[in-house]
Amino acid sequence: MHVLREAAAEFERPVLLFSGGKDSIVLLRLAEKAFRPGPFPFPVMHVDTGHNFPEVVEFRDRRVAEIGERLIVASVEDSIDDGRVVDETGPRASRNGLQTVTLLDAIAAHRFDAAFGGARRDEERARAKERILSFRDEFGQWEPKGQRPELWSLYNGRIRRGEHVRVFPISNWTELDVWQYIAEEGLEVPSIYFAHEREVFARDGMLYATSPHLQLGPDEQPFVASVRYRTVGDMTCTGAVESTAATLRDVVLEIAATEVTERGQTRADDRVSEAAMEDRKRKGYF
């Protein structure tokens, strides 16, 4: 709450990024705690790849309507139509990388100077060094060596025109903290976080939902399994885990017992190379 209020007070045009995923659900609740009964001093924005899970998109719209705030949807589809980016092709095509361009375009178009995100330092090695207020240059790029030191809880929010910051209020939370908070606050999450029957296929040791956005390889056979998602992202790179955890309680138990990190288990985008996340972050990804 302290971070949200500081950033809202110091920036002229902040925006809160909301994907419908668990971390951004927590963020939305924290914003309610920080600013109610007043309105949010910023709109809510989602970067939609067009390949998102329909359950999540439905949830996103409903949740933002419930709290009565303004939703902006920045669409990768539009970026493709505008010729800003070109869709990848082939069986491993994903729009995950394209999001970055759409996000940066949207930030520029709306002249946002601060974007709240739900990234956490425990997710990945490159994120462990991320600041709470992360400075991005006019091209949206992240320079790990050029970040400002953060002392006590004093944040330096001064930027030049064209530059922006990413603000990560739940930087210091772990995956388990997030789920416990969701349980304590009784927050609703999209149904795909709970076990459900789904047609999936195995690829590189992960389970992917069959969808029009993913081409099956010659040896890839779809089958039905009881699965749930640990992270919510683009359908083309977000894998499911086999699970029977149908309630919040089961999910918390399952995470407490897990042996694999959420990104290692379910995110193909981080497996590309040893420093995959670091490289994407430099370009402007979260």
Partner 1 sequence: MAISGWAPHHHAPTGETASADEAADIFARLSERPAELLRFATAGSVDDGKSTLIGRLLYDSKQVLSDQLEHVEQTSKRMGSDFLDLSLLTDGLRAEREQGITIDVAYRYFATAERRFIIADTPGHEQYTRNMVTGASTADLAIVLIDARKGMLPQSRRHAFISSLLRIPHLVVCVNKMDLVDFDEDVFRGIVEEFEGYAAKLDVPDVTFIPISALLGDNVVERSGSMGWYQGAPLLYHLEHVHIASDRNLIDVRFPVQWVIRPRSGSGDYRAYAGQVAGGVLRPGDEVVVLPSGRRTKIAGIDTFDGPVEEAFPPMSVALRLQDDIDVSRGSTIARAHNQPTVSSSFECLLCWMSEQPLSTQRRYLVKHTTRTASVSGVEMRYRIDLKQLHRDETATTLELNDLGRVLMELSSPLVFDSYRRNKVTGSLIVIDQDTNETVAAGTILDTETETRNASPAEARPAQSPNVRWQRSELTRSARWESLGHAGATIWFTGLPGAGKSTIASAVEERLVTAGRAAFLLDGDNLRHGLNGDLDFDERARSENVRRTAHVACLFAEAGTIALVSLVSPYLTDRKAAEMLHAVHDLDFIEVFVDAPLEVCEERDPKGLYARARAGELLDLTGVGAPYEAPTKPDLVLRAGRSTIEADVERVLDVLAARGLWPSH
Contact residues for partner 1 (CB under 8 A)?
A: 1-2, 5-6, 8-9, 32-39, 121-122, 125-126, 128-129, 144-145, 147-154, 156, 158-160, 171-172, 174, 176, 180, 204-206, 226, 241-245, 249-250, 252-254, 256-261, 264-265, 271, 274-275, 278
Q: How far is the CB of 108 from partner 1 (least distance, A)?
A: 19
212 versus 218: smaller Cβ distance to partner 1: 218
The SS3 assignment for 24 reads helix
Q: How far is the CB of 276 from partner 1 (least distance, A)?
A: 11
Q: How far is the CB of 226 from partner 1 (least distance, A)?
A: 8
75 versus 258: smaller Cβ distance to partner 1: 258
DSSP symbols for 231-277: S--BTTTB-EEE----SHHHHHHHHHT--S-HHHHHBGGGSSSTTHH
80 versus 276: smaller Cβ distance to partner 1: 276
Q: How far is the CB of 180 from partner 1 (least distance, A)?
A: 7
2 versus 62: smaller Cβ distance to partner 1: 2
What span, in angstroms and rounded, lies between the C-alpha atoms of 156 and 168?
14
Q: How far is the CB of 8 from partner 1 (least distance, A)?
A: 7
What span, in angstroms and rounded, lies between the C-alpha atoms of 227 and 182?
20
Comparing C-alpha atoms, which of 285, 233, 241 is closest to residue 52?
Answer: 233
Q: How far is the CB of 78 from partner 1 (least distance, A)?
A: 31
What span, in angstroms and rounded, lies between the C-alpha atoms of 169 and 7?
10
109 versus 256: smaller Cβ distance to partner 1: 256
Q: How far is the CB of 232 from partner 1 (least distance, A)?
A: 18
Comparing C-alpha atoms, which of 88, 118, 124 is closest to residue 265?
Answer: 124
The SS3 assignment for 146 reads helix
67 versus 73: smaller Cβ distance to partner 1: 67
What span, in angstroms and rounded, lies between the C-alpha atoms of 220 and 208?
11
Compute, in degrees rounded to 10, the torsion defined by CA atoms 7, 8, 11, 15: 100
38 versus 83: smaller Cβ distance to partner 1: 38
What span, in angstroms and rounded, lies between the C-alpha atoms of 171 and 154?
15
- Report strand pairing: 223-229 vs 240-242: antiparallel
Q: Which helix (H) or strand (E) holds 227?
A: strand 223-229
